[in-house]
Amino acid sequence: MRRLVLPLAVAAIAATLLAPPAAAQFGPAGPPAVGVMTVQIRPVTETQEFVGRIQATDKVDIVPRLTAALVERAFTEGGEVAEGDLLYRLERPQFEADLATKQATVAQMAALQRNASIALGRAQSLLNTPAGQRSQYDDAAAQQASYAAQLKAAEAQARISQINLGYTEIHAPITGKIGRSAIAVGNIVTPTSGPLASIVSQDPMYVLFPVPTRTVSELRTRYAARGGFSAIAIRVRLPDGTLYSRPGSIDYADPSVTQGTDTIMLRARMPNPLRAGAKPGEPGNRDLIDGSFVAVLVEGVEPIKALAIPRAAVAQDQQGPYVYLVDAEKKVQLRRVQLGAQQGALVLLNGGLTEGDSIIVEGIQRVRPGIEVAPAPAGPPVSAPPAVAAPLKPAG
């Protein structure tokens, strides 16, 4: 019996050691954890976005008024010039000679006019004497008047020659940035040879942007009590996506609607100073460039109160956007919402929620309507800039 019991005991111990461990036994799963936030009314700025184009306030083509050789270019291409700066010089000798000839004619006519005046005075003094004759007086008067008229004509011709001589120096009519010179020094230029260069003003600049007529009416109505268009600030987003820091204001609206697009062209005046540390003559020294496309943001000057929620809380299906609410019993409800404008991590609401509603922001993928959840406060939206209000409805 001892020989039989011992092997059986060893086998039982070995079987116990070699048996796989029993599977862990879990209780029923708890409600999924979610991050929630309370819908609040926030101070926001009403904003609407359009596509616009930067335009210089002044643009001048430099065209010669004389036919002459170009002898000097006095500016740096692509640099900035001030009103009155010398740009070009044309050859002067022929115009100086012409002026001298006209001035000599003026002197000649002045001498003849003075002599005629003396003769007229002599004839007038003899008119009432036996030696005087009426015909002599009349001839002297006519001669004096003729020379006086010829003197004025000679002075006018001299003035024209003086003006032409002045045209041999071409000065900047406006302040701005000048482009490339189209004609090299040494060439003959004429009034019909085309522009020598162009000057584009730099500060301020215009931004022009078309707005649907319906939107213009809504803007006018919305801001009528706050000063009309003067209560609107204009900002632009540059082509590289950065927001230009200096606001502008609307100063013009086209008096007629553009056919085919049903839009009205608005124009805003924008400051465009030198960038920090930039020099007047270097390229890229200002942010706004004539002809560039930009995004135009039409903003209300005074903030308003509006509901705003994180964009991460909004889901979308074929019926439109929706959010998940957590009710007082910690159960999930699906709520349809009407979205407004988006700015960063926030989106404005036009309807669907009320202040105080608790919405799920984190863990949306783990919930469905009707289930119970374990809510906890969600973290704040990452890098959420100040929100902007819902845009106006587009025309059409």
Domain 92-167 has CATH 1.10.287: yes
What is 64-90+169-200's CATH number? Answer: 2.40.50.100
Q: CA-to-CA distance for 263 and 388, rounded, in angstroms?
A: 24
Tokens of 382: 């990452």
Distances (CA, A) of 146 to 126, 155, 157, 279: 22, 14, 17, 61
The DSSP code sequence of 71-96 is EEE-S-TT-EE-TT-EEEEE--HHHH
Q: How is the chain split into domains, by residue range?
A: 33-44+305-377, 49-57+205-300, 64-90+169-200, 92-167
Strands 33-38 and 293-300 turn out to be unpaired
Task: Identify the residue whose tokens are 């590289």.
Answer: 240
Per-residue model confidence (pLDDT) at position 27: 45
- CA dihedral over 77, 83, 85, 90, signed as positive or negative: positive
Sheet with 338-343, side-by-side order of all strands: 40-44, 304-310, 346-351, 338-343
> Model confidence over 271-325: pLDDT tens digits?
999 888 887 777 778 899 999 999 998 877 666 677 888 888 899 888 889 999 9
Domain 33-44+305-377 has CATH 1.10.3720.10: no
Task: Identify the residue whose tokens are 């606001």.
Answer: 247
> Model confidence over 137-166: pLDDT tens digits?
777 788 888 889 999 999 999 999 999 999
What is 49-57+205-300's CATH number? Answer: 2.40.30.170
Name 253's bridge partners.
Answer: 266
Task: Identify the residue whose tokens are 């004025």.
Answer: 152
Query: Would you place residue 133 in the very low, low, confident or very high pLDDT band (cuts 50, 70, 90)?
Result: confident
Per-residue model confidence (pLDDT) at position 68: 94
Q: Mind spelling out the 3-state secondary structure of 324-365?
A: EEECCCCEEEEEECEEEEEECCEEEEEECCCCCCEEEEECHH
pTM of the model: 0.66
> Model confidence over 321-359: pLDDT tens digits?
999 999 888 899 999 998 876 665 777 788 888 888 898
> Model confidence over 30-66: pLDDT tens digits?
788 888 888 888 777 767 789 999 999 999 999 999 9
Tokens of 302: 């005074």
Q: Mean pLDDT throughout 64-86?
A: 93
